[in-house]
Amino acid sequence: MVIGLDLGTSGLKALAIAEDQSILAESSAALSVARPHDGWSEQDPAAWIAAAESAVGALLDRIDAKAVRGIGLSGQMHGATLLDASDRVLRPCMLWNDTRSHAEAAALDADPRFREITGNIVFPGFTAPKLAWVRRHEPQVFENIRKVLL
Rounded distance between C-alpha atoms, residue 24 and residue 101, angstroms: 43
Question: Which helix or strand (DSSP H or E) is residue 124 part of?
Answer: none
In this structure, whether the domain defined by 1-76 belongs to CATH 3.30.420.300 is answered with: yes
Rounded distance between C-alpha atoms, residue 72 and residue 92, angstroms: 24
Q: For the chain, what are the domain ranges?
A: 1-76, 78-150
Predicted pLDDT of residue 116: 92
For residue 140, which phi and psi values (nearest 5 degrees)?
-65, -35
Render pLDDT for 68-126 as a digit per residue (tens, 0 to 9).
Answer: 999 999 988 889 999 999 999 999 999 999 999 999 999 999 999 988 998 999 999 99
Predicted pLDDT of residue 150: 86
Predicted pLDDT of residue 2: 97
Rounded distance between C-alpha atoms, residue 24 and residue 46, angstroms: 28
Query: pLDDT-derived band of residue 147, with 50, 70 and 90 as boundaries?
Result: very high
Rounded distance between C-alpha atoms, residue 132 and residue 137, angstroms: 9
Render pLDDT for 2-23 as a digit per residue (tens, 0 to 9).
Answer: 999 999 999 999 999 999 999 9
Render pLDDT for 119-138 as a digit per residue (tens, 0 to 9).
Answer: 999 999 999 999 999 999 99
